[in-house]
């Protein structure tokens, strides 16, 4: 079973190498979002030198081996997992670095393509993308559509404007305006809370859904929304990079694994990717990359799996 997540503080994201990505995020947040990917400089520090593994490369389906490249769809608005560098074009983040290392083990290049979050699973299913890497929480609904390969564990975190001026209580947000990114696991979460408000005779929650997490964060900074929900690293990164404008509410909850998305009919590629993740876990590359993002003590897993049994994990209350 994947290891449980430990709670961490925003200051753990403060690193000397954050400057370029932080500037990009602050520009995005102030105007309307915001590590380093496969390039090797920026948010996460120098990317480890990963050499191809012939045995792992042999697991890759022949068609992809012949092309030499994996096309990967990602929502590049979700810092620090995947987002645009200061040049506005290069996709970077800890998700990106991890998968670039996996691809290197498989002796493959990666062509990263920005996409709207809600279209990526469908894009993998249609063959537009070979893989989807975009902080996808593994859940039963997604497992009904695609293969998913686990690589990290994350829960949901509430956050709000500094000082919580709207007096938001995560356990009773009835009548408040809450921002979330569309198509994320946070949407059914906040919808269920709103339904409970109405059942209790309280006003419903006004749910503001945004195409990008950067837009949802900006709505909190601007005061349009009272608070928001996001994956824990994303919430704390936004808090860190907006200075004194945001703060966390409570602790993260309902931790579950992130998964790389692969076509449901492509078990061979899913297994190759699993073996790639396992290899970087075993040789220390995985922890080195996450340490560069201040994430080496949170959510690390010891074993990557194809389509892990998340239902059983939910029943146990941990992932």
What are the structural domains of the chain?
10-155+255-316 (3.40.190.10), 156-253 (3.40.190.10)
pLDDT at residue 297, as a whole number: 73
pLDDT 10s digits, 201-244:
999 999 999 998 889 999 999 999 999 999 989 998 889 888 88
Under the banding of pLDDT at 50, 70 and 90, the label for residue 43 is low
Give, in order, the Cα–Cα distances in Å from 245 to each of 69, 166, 232. Answer: 41, 14, 17
For the entire predicted model, the pTM comes to 0.76
% the chain with pLDDT above 90: 73
pLDDT at residue 318, as a whole number: 33
pLDDT at residue 195, as a whole number: 98
Does the pLDDT of residue 10 top 80, yes or no?
no
The Cα 262–Cα 268 span in angstroms is: 10
pLDDT at residue 45, as a whole number: 54
The Cα 51–Cα 101 span in angstroms is: 9
Strand, coil or helix: 300? coil
Under the banding of pLDDT at 50, 70 and 90, the label for residue 312 is low
Under the banding of pLDDT at 50, 70 and 90, the label for residue 319 is very low
């Amino acid at each position: 079973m994947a290891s449980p997540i430990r709670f961490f503080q925003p200051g753990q994201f403060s690193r000397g190498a954050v400057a370029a990505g932080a500037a990009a995020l602050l520009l995005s947040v102030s105007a309307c979002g915001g590590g380093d990917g496969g390039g090797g400089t920026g948010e996460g520090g120098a990317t480890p030198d990963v050499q191809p593994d012939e045995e792992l490369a042999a697991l890759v389906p022949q068609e992809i081996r012949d092309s030499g490249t994996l096309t990967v769809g990602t929502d590049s608005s979700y810092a620090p997992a995947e987002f645009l560098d200061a040049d506005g074009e290069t996709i970077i983040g800890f998700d990106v670095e991890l998968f670039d290392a996996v691809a290197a083990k498989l002796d493959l290049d990666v062509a990263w393509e920005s996409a709207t979050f809600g279209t990526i699973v469908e894009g993998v299913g249609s063959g537009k993308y070979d893989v989807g890497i975009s902080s996808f929480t593994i859940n039963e609904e997604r497992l009904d559509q695609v293969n998913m390969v686990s690589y990290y564990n994350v829960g949901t975190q509430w956050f709000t404007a500094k000082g919580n001026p709207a007096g938001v209580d995560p356990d009773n947000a009835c009548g408040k305006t809450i921002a979330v990114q569309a198509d994320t696991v946070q949407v059914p979460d906040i919808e269920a809370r709103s339904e409970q408000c109405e059942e209790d005779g309280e006003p419903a929650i006004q749910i503001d859904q945004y195409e990008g997490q950067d837009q949802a964060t900006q709505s909190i900074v601007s005061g349009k929304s009272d608070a928001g929900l996001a994956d824990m690293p994303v919430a704390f990164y936004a808090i860190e990079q907006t200075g004194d404008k945001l703060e966390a509410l409570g602790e993260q909850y309902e931790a579950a694994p992130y998964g790389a998305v692969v076509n449901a009919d492509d078990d061979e590629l899913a297994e190759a990717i699993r073996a790639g993740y396992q290899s970087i876990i075993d040789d220390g590359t995985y922890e080195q990359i996450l340490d560069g993002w201040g994430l080496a003590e949170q959510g690390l897993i010891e074993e990557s799996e194809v389509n892990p049994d998340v239902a059983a994990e939910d029943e146990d209350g941990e992932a």
